[in-house]
Structure 1
Amino acid sequence: MRLITTTVLKAGMIIGRTIWNEANRPLLQKGAKVSEPMIKRLQQLNIHYVYIDDEISSNIEIEEAIPIDMRLKAVTQISSSFNKLKNVKGKEMTYCLDQESKHFVGIIDDLLDNIMKSREVLTVLSDAFLYDHYIYQHSMQVAIYSIAIAKEMNYSATELRQIGIGAILHDVGKMMIPQTILSKPDRLSDQEYETMKQHAQFGFDLLRNLHTISLLSAHCAFQHHERLDGSGYPRGLLNFEIHPYAKIIAVADVFDAVTSNRVYREKMMPSHGVEIIKKGSGTLYDEQVVEAFRRSVAYYPNGTVLLLSDGRRGIVCKQYKDNPERPWLRIFEESGRMVKATYELLLADCPEVFVESIDDAFVPDIE
């Protein structure tokens, strides 16, 4: 299968990966033949990419570190717990979160078990799921990325658990922010932005009073928007003042934010998200965290079509753990002409060849 933008999706193409709605039901099943009404519906739902099966991408599989059923279960539980928090106030909120904390610990234990077993770089495909509330999916994905980064940095099992819990609850303070601000499709006003920034303090105040969650995890909520150069919030902390856990979650948070669909902008491809993080290395983000992050995530997920500097086109068919930025490709086109027989190329073995662009709008001329 391969990734394609819905702007060039055509009737008759075959869906390669099931798309799920917020009720955990398949919106469009793998193997379904696309019709014009389906295409319009996908575009109305703000789905920018889908995976399709075709001849040139035959047998290319998308393997995620976290099984789909586990992701669906986790996001459903996060949604349920966060919605309970929205309906209570004051000390009742702390009590409610204390009661719900066992569910978050259970989610993290499941994620840890899967990520620790995986030897591959991490691929998380947010476009396979539709949710009314961005925070639910974002909380889970930040936890996945944070655990993967911390694993690469050789944190202990206890530390990984604390980081995971801090990550999954890093945005819990947003439950105290007005929904009109959270879902505003336009740029926030200065006053609205100041209100939004309070979520870090709100989250810390909620978590630090819990008996079931470490104070270190609470600091993840407090400091995940702090930056090394002091430009972050809520306290403008400098490098040495920021807890190492928060430095990890800061990178995971930004990466997921820019590679997920938001009400005010389209998602970026993972490679663009990685570049944003790399540009901030040493000034905004910790260099060791950025390096561990770079080694942990799929720069170009399997199924991505790439145009190379030498005129060849290929589909990413396999990740290369030693250098995720230079994966294996299945070459299917040379100088604008389809090859008679596809072949594999490891970009890491071709230092003179670079990626010209991601070609998510490629439609082969096979007629």
Structure 2
Amino acid sequence: MRLIPINSLQPGMKLGKKIYNEDGIVLLSENAELTDVIIRRLRSHGLNFVYVADPLTEDVVPLDMIEEDTRRRALKEIRANFRKMTEPTVKGLVYPYLGKMFSGLIEDIMDDLSAREDAMIMMMNIHSMDHYLYRHSLNVCIYTILLGQIHGYSKSDLTLLGLGAMLHDIGKTKLPIELLTKAGKLTDEEYEQVKQHAEIGFKMLKNEPGIPLVSAHCAYQHHERLNGSGYPRGIKGEEISEFARWIAITDSYDAMTTHRVYRSAMLPHQALEVLYTGCGNLYEKSKLELFRDRVAIYPLGMTVRLSTGETGVVAKIHGIFPQRPVVRILTDSEGIDLKAPYDLDLSKQLSIVITEVDGMI
């Protein structure tokens, strides 16, 4: 199948992967035929890319980072519990079930990731029309746990890290929804109000039964930066929790690669370039390097143009060299369709590079 920008969809194309609505219900199934009405609806919900069926790439089948059922259950639980948090706070009210419930989800996520050989950080915002905060919380949790597994944390530490990642933005449930969904640029006063979510989240979690303090500090510190330029306290370097330094990277990456009401999503390679401008200054170099080596910056099924002038579709990603995928060449340098498409392994053709990707070509 092929990954196609929304603006390139045509009536008559057939969907390659399911699309869910915000309640986790399948909105469109595989092989559903796209119409003008459906395409407009997908666009209105902020989806930038969708997978479509294609006979030339029918063997290109991208796997999700976690099982479909795990993702659906996780979003359902995040949605239900975060919505409870938006209700007016009653003095002394606690949520003693949070730690137990989310720990169970995190264990399922760990199991799913462990079962994926050479698991890569893939685009996670293609198939769901869910609320940004819910998807973002799950995505950051998945990305961070994967990095923690590769780093070699114990299962108990991964649970603490996963809890911190899942709940890092919990403070936003106490902010006005109109502030979080504002289409235009925030005023200085509004931005200062949004920044309060880090401290609000920490205060919500620090005395919560079942939420360890190290996980609560992830909510407090995920916007802190190595050089002290972050917030809310402007702490530096190792003053920042090690777990929060991981989440600083995954939180920023997912935010950049997600469509928002005020800007379009970046593609993975663009977001990685932005992260690297802060390498050693905003983000820890060793953690960023591990992240880089696990990001599928050219997602499976995406159309790319090579330095030879040929175009093709990313057909396979190398776990140890993700920046040099296998590309199925579909057109020659003149843009003429090949009668016999073939696979070109860029890890073995080092003089050939990807120069453009679909959506930017």
TM-score range, shorter chain: over 0.9
Deviation string 1:162-182 (CA, Å, 9 cap, x unpaired) is 110000000011111121211
Aligned to 1:338: 337
Offset at residue 211 of structure 1 (A): 2.7
CA distance in 2, matches of 1:100, 1:213: 8
Offset at residue 90 of structure 1 (A): 4.6
1:301-320 → structure 2 map (5 Å cutoff) = 301-320=299-318
Contact map agreement 2:175 2:194 (CA 8 A) in 1: yes
What amino acid maps onto 2:121 in structure 1? Answer: L
Matched, 1:75 2:75: yes
Offset at residue 56 of structure 1 (A): 2.4
Aligned to 2:2: 2
CA distance in 2, matches of 1:234, 1:3: 39
Deviation string 1:78-117 (CA, Å, 9 cap, x unpaired) is 0100111112415444x12x22322211111111111122
Contact map agreement 2:99 2:209 (CA 8 A) in 1: no
Aligned to 2:42: 42
Aligned to 1:365: none
Offset at residue 50 of structure 1 (A): 1.2
What amino acid maps onto 1:247 in structure 2? Answer: R
1:119-138 → structure 2 map (5 Å cutoff) = 119-120=117-118, 121-131=120-130, 133-138=131-136
Contact map agreement 2:98 2:210 (CA 8 A) in 1: no
What amino acid maps onto 1:79 in structure 2? Answer: R
1:150 pairs with 144, 148, 151, which one?
A: 148
What amino acid maps onto 1:57 in structure 2? Answer: T
CA distance in 2, matches of 1:360, 1:26: 26
CA distance in 1, matches of 2:160, 2:123: 21
Aligned to 2:170: 172
1:205-216 → structure 2 map (5 Å cutoff) = 205-216=203-214
**Does the residue aligned with 1:14 lie in a helix, a strand or coil?**
coil
Offset at residue 58 of structure 1 (A): 1.9
CA distance in 2, matches of 1:62, 1:249: 25
Offset at residue 215 of structure 1 (A): 0.9
Contact map agreement 1:4 1:361 (CA 8 A) in 2: no
CA distance in 2, matches of 1:78, 1:99: 13
Offset at residue 297 of structure 1 (A): 2.1
What amino acid maps onto 1:178 in structure 2? Answer: P
1:1-367 → structure 2 map (5 Å cutoff) = 1-93=1-93, 95-96=94-95, 98-120=96-118, 121-131=120-130, 133-335=131-333, 336-360=335-359
Offset at residue 361 of structure 1 (A): 7.8
**Does the residue aligned with 1:348 lie in a helix, a strand or coil?**
coil
Contact map agreement 2:164 2:215 (CA 8 A) in 1: yes
**Does the residue aligned with 1:339 lie in a helix, a strand or coil?**
strand
Contact map agreement 1:3 1:360 (CA 8 A) in 2: no
CA distance in 2, matches of 1:319, 1:299: 9
What do you get for the CA RMSD once the two structures are aligned?
1.5
CA distance in 2, matches of 1:160, 1:23: 28
**How has the CA–CA distance of structure 1 residues 15 and 247 changed in structure 2, closer, same or farther, with 3 Å as cutoff?**
same
CA distance in 1, matches of 2:285, 2:360: 34
CA distance in 2, matches of 1:30, 1:81: 30
Contact map agreement 1:152 1:296 (CA 8 A) in 2: no
Deviation string 1:1-60 (CA, Å, 9 cap, x unpaired) is 111112121111111111111122222221011122222222222222111112322221
Offset at residue 313 of structure 1 (A): 1.2
What amino acid maps onto 1:210 in structure 2? Answer: E
Gaps of 5+ in 1: 363-367
Contact map agreement 2:327 2:346 (CA 8 A) in 1: yes
CA distance in 1, matches of 2:18, 2:353: 32
Identity %: 38
CA distance in 1, matches of 2:182, 2:37: 28
CA distance in 1, matches of 2:50, 2:76: 22
What amino acid maps onto 2:352 in structure 1? Answer: V
**Does the residue aligned with 1:296 lie in a helix, a strand or coil?**
coil
More helix by share: 1
What amino acid maps onto 2:340 in structure 1? Answer: A
- TM-score, normalised relative to structure 2: 0.96
